[in-house]
Amino acid sequence: MNLFADALSWITDGSHWGGPGGIDHRIVQHLLVTFAAVAVAAVLALPLGILIGHTGRGRLVVVALAGAVRAVPTLGLLTLLGLALGIGLQAPLLALVALAFPSLLAGAYAGVESADRGAVDAARAVGMSEWQLVTRVEVPLGAEVILGGIRAATLQVVATATLAAYISDTGLGRYLFSGLKSRQYDEMLAGALLVAVLALVLDLTLAALQRASRPTTGKVLS
């Protein structure tokens, strides 16, 4: 595949590294946007999801809501937010937070729910408070599933963070758009490959974390 070879040589071309528009710089930006979006979404979604999983209340409403959010086309959200907030990072960040939210929420409540009921009942029987129940039993037991949600959300966000370049000078998406618009397909494909590699590295890291979090006696859930 000629195109792929071109893309690889574009990446390995030393002149594309270093400086404000360099590959290294864009990778850092891309990672920062991704982490920021997932972190903000996690602060909102994880406590809510754990609460739902723990109490079993409000599940239907929140699940329906999260499903609806999942259905919102990111492009539409980005354009609406862009028109409202102007150029810069706010609009893409908000759109990415919305993107990450449903997966994180689903992971959190499914994780807590997946905690072995026997263990939960036993913990309650030995006199643990609800707070202890959540922090010492349900969350540790559900950690693998919760991390699965974080992993899914991160993967979605890191791939979609390319859209941030639609309205700001940020991230690896810049190579995609400028390559697409000026028909420099080696640059565009190089951008895509870099994003894919970044995603892969993040995914492997989170997968390792997920494996490490598996309770020693636990059964496999996904």
Partner 1 sequence: MTRTPRRTTTVGLALVATAALALTACGSDDPLSAGDGGDGGDTIVIGSQDYYSNEIIAEAYAQALEAADIKVERDFRIGQREGYLPDIESGSIDLFPEYTGPLLQVWKPDTTARLADDVYSELEEAAEEKGLEVLDQSPATDQDSYVVTREFAEKYGLETIEDLSKVTEKLTFGANSEAESRPNGPKGLKESYGVDVAFTPIEDSGGPLTVKALKDGSIQLAIIYTADPSIKKNDLVTLEDTKGLFLASHVVPVASDDLSDEAEGIVNKVSAAMSPEDLVDLDARSVDEELPAATIAKDWLEKEGLL
Partner 2 sequence: MSWLEANRDYVLDMLVQHVRLSVPAIVISVVVAIVLGRVAWRWPRVGTVVLGTASLLYSVPALPLLIVIPVLLGIPLRSGLTLVVALAVYGTALLAGTAADAFRSVDGRVREAAEAMGYSRAGLFWKVDLPLAVPVLLSGVRVITVSTVSLVTIGALVGIPSLGNLLTDGFQRDIRAEIVTGVVGTMLLAVVLDVLLVVLGRLATPWRVATPTGGAR
Contacts to partner 2 by CB under 8 A:
1, 3, 59-60, 63, 67-68, 70-77, 79-80, 82-83, 106, 110, 113, 155, 158-160, 162, 173, 176, 180, 185, 188-189, 191-192, 195-196, 199-200, 203, 220, 222
The residue (of 128 and 159) whose beta carbon lies closer to partner 2 is 159
Q: Closest approach of Cβ 190 to partner 2, in Å?
A: 10
CA pair distance 161, 174, nearest whole angstrom: 10
**Beta-carbon count within 10 A of 175 CB:** 29
CA pair distance 110, 122, nearest whole angstrom: 20
The residue (of 70 and 132) whose beta carbon lies closer to partner 2 is 70
Interaction site with partner 1 (CB under 8 A) = 82-83, 86-88, 165-169, 174, 177-178, 180-184
The residue (of 91 and 134) whose beta carbon lies closer to partner 2 is 91
Q: Which residues contact 117 (CB under 8 A, 6 or more apart)?
A: none
135 neighbors 104 (Cβ within 8 angstroms): no
The residue (of 1 and 125) whose beta carbon lies closer to partner 2 is 1
Q: From partner 1, partner 2, none, which one binds at residue 158 (CB under 5 to 8 Å depending on kind)? A: partner 2
Q: Where are the beta strands (DSSP E) in the chain?
A: none
CA pair distance 70, 104, nearest whole angstrom: 12
Task: Match 């700001």 to its residue by tokens.
Answer: 168
Q: From partner 2, partner 1, none, which one binds at residue 58 (CB under 5 to 8 Å depending on kind)? A: none
Q: Closest approach of Cβ 94 to partner 1, in Å?
A: 15
DSSP state of 116: -
